[in-house]
């Protein structure tokens, strides 16, 4: 004789996944029929009682041997999933649930495996069963919400599930991130930024939130803020698992695009700065400055050759030739503001000449004085 396991839930929760809830609670017979349908995957027979606004569900507990074998197989399935062998994991987890249908963690793992192989219907059905067994599982609400938003194009239902997750776990970074995306796609950029920031505060190592925030800033024509978001991501976030890889790849591409965009927009201003600075240095040193492009063999960004050191009547600055014009111009501006060194010219007087040996350009390039 097996012991009975007991589940308690609000009667109203039986209608969580229905389009609408009844205005009047149904009677015991109707509730019993509904429970038997929704929990048909549990060991039989199922007993149903009503206590106030709750329904009490009892079912036989699986045997010790069945539970022991189910636990062993569940561990094996977890290893398969970790190796990316999701179809093999699915087969094992199906056997686990034959042995112990009430093991909701295995049912959740099965749903996740179906998500990974793109089987939306099976993933959805198993997640709903998981949430009927454990309505307090915030993570399953988030995954189910994303399935409705991305795969079923039902943003309204997806948002409802996200808010359900946040009722359970108000600081869940994944739920906040997904809700931010919902706001972003509606054009509610302020709310999106607020949710992304809440996700970052909740988990500073969560890369998705920084990346999502950067995209919002980019789409609202604020490239400088987008760059700052990505810099925070590169400094603070960590690679969580294989799902983080496309996030980092996208972030790096976006960062390069934003830098080029900023350089393009500030081209005119940078040109004026460079020209004014060039004229100032020519006046101070008594020599003109020539700038030419060079095909460097290594990762040097630019070099400066001093006039008196190379027996010329001009200073020569060589800049990497394969930089796009705006970026190259910004490099000339940014990389000719290093520390000052006192150098004696052959004319017998000391001049302050801006010089730096190996400043970092951010991409492995350097600048040197010769």
Mean pLDDT of 303-311: 88
For 151-204, the pLDDT digits (tens) are 999 999 999 999 999 999 999 999 999 999 999 999 999 999 999 999 999 999
Lowest mean pLDDT across 7-21, 77-91, 312-326:
312-326
SS3 130: helix
Among the candidates 38, 60, 82, a domain finishes at: 60
In a domain, 55, yes or no: yes
Regarding whether 249 and 322 lie in a shared domain, the answer is no
CATH code at 218?
A: 1.25.40.10
Rounded CA separation 345/303 (Å):
19
Q: State the DSSP string of 264-285.
A: HHTHHHHHHHHHHHHHHHHHHH
Q: Is the dihedral of CA 183, 189, 190, 193 positive or negative?
A: positive
In a domain, 15, yes or no: yes
For 258-275, the pLDDT digits (tens) are 988 887 777 677 667 777
Q: Which domain holds residue 355?
A: 283-369
Regarding whether 311 and 232 lie in a shared domain, the answer is no
Regarding whether 288 and 260 lie in a shared domain, the answer is no
Rounded CA separation 134/122 (Å):
18
* Maximum average pLDDT range among 17-26, 65-74, 319-328: 65-74
In a domain, 86, yes or no: no
* pLDDT value, residue 28: 87
In a domain, 136, yes or no: no
* pLDDT value, residue 114: 96
β-sheet with 47-51: strand ranges across = 4-10, 54-60, 47-51
In a domain, 350, yes or no: yes
Regarding whether 344 and 318 lie in a shared domain, the answer is yes
Mean pLDDT of 76-92: 94
Regarding whether 317 and 256 lie in a shared domain, the answer is no
Among the candidates 210, 235, 265, a domain finishes at: 265
pTM across the whole model: 0.71
For 197-230, the pLDDT digits (tens) are 999 999 999 999 999 999 999 999 999 999 999 9
* pLDDT value, residue 339: 33
Rounded CA separation 336/359 (Å):
10
Regarding whether 43 and 16 lie in a shared domain, the answer is yes
Select the more confidently predicted residue: 332 or 312: 312
In a domain, 241, yes or no: yes
Regarding whether 196 and 248 lie in a shared domain, the answer is yes
96 exposed, middle or buried (CB, 10 Å; 0-12, 13-18, 19+)? buried
In a domain, 308, yes or no: yes
Mean pLDDT of 238-264: 87
Tell me how many domains the chain contains. Answer: 3
Lowest mean pLDDT across 86-90, 268-272, 310-314:
268-272
- By DSSP bridging, strand 315-320 and strand 340-344 are unpaired
Regarding whether 175 and 260 lie in a shared domain, the answer is yes
Mean pLDDT of 66-82: 95
In a domain, 72, yes or no: no
């Amino acid at each position: 004789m097996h012991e009975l396991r007991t589940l308690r839930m609000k009667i109203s929760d039986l209608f969580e996944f229905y389009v609408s809830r009844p205005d009047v609670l149904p009677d015991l017979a109707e509730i019993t029929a509904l429970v038997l349908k929704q929990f048909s995957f549990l060991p039989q027979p199922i007993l149903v009682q009503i206590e106030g606004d709750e329904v009490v569900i009892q079912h036989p507990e699986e045997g010790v041997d069945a539970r022991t074998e189910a636990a062993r197989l569940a561990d094996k399935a977890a290893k398969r999933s970790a190796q990316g062998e999701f179809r093999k994991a699915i087969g094992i987890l199906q056997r686990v649930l034959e042995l112990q249908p009430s093991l909701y963690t295995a049912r959740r793992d099965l749903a996740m495996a179906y998500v990974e192989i793109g089987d939306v219907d099976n993933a959805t059905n198993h997640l709903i069963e998981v949430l009927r067994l454990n309505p307090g599982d915030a993570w399953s609400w988030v995954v189910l919400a994303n399935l409705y938003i991305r795969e079923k194009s039902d943003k309204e239902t997806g948002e409802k599930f996200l808010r359900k997750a946040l009722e359970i776990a108000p600081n869940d970074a994944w739920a906040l991130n997904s809700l931010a995306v919902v706001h972003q796609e509606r054009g509610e950029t302020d709310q999106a930024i607020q949710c992304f920031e809440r996700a970052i505060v909740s988990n500073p190592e969560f890369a998705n939130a920084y990346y999502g925030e950067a995209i919002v800033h980019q789409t609202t024509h604020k490239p400088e803020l987008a760059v700052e978001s990505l810099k925070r991501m590169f400094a603070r976030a960590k690679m969580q698992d294989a799902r983080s890889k496309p996030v980092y790849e996208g972030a790096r591409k976006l960062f390069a695009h934003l830098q080029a965009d900023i350089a393009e927009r500030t081209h005119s201003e940078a040109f004026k700065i460079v020209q004014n600075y060039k004229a100032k240095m020519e006046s101070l040193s008594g020599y003109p400055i020539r700038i030419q492009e060079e095909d460097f063999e290594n990762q040097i960004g630019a070099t400066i050759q001093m006039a008196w050191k190379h027996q010329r009547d001009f200073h020569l600055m060589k800049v990497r030739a394969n930089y796009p014009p705006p970026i190259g111009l910004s490099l000339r501006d940014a990389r000719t503001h290093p520390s000052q060194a006192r150098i004696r010219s052959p004319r017998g007087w000391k001049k302050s000449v801006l010089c730096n040996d190996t400043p970092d350009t951010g991409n492995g390039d350097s600048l040197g004085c010769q």
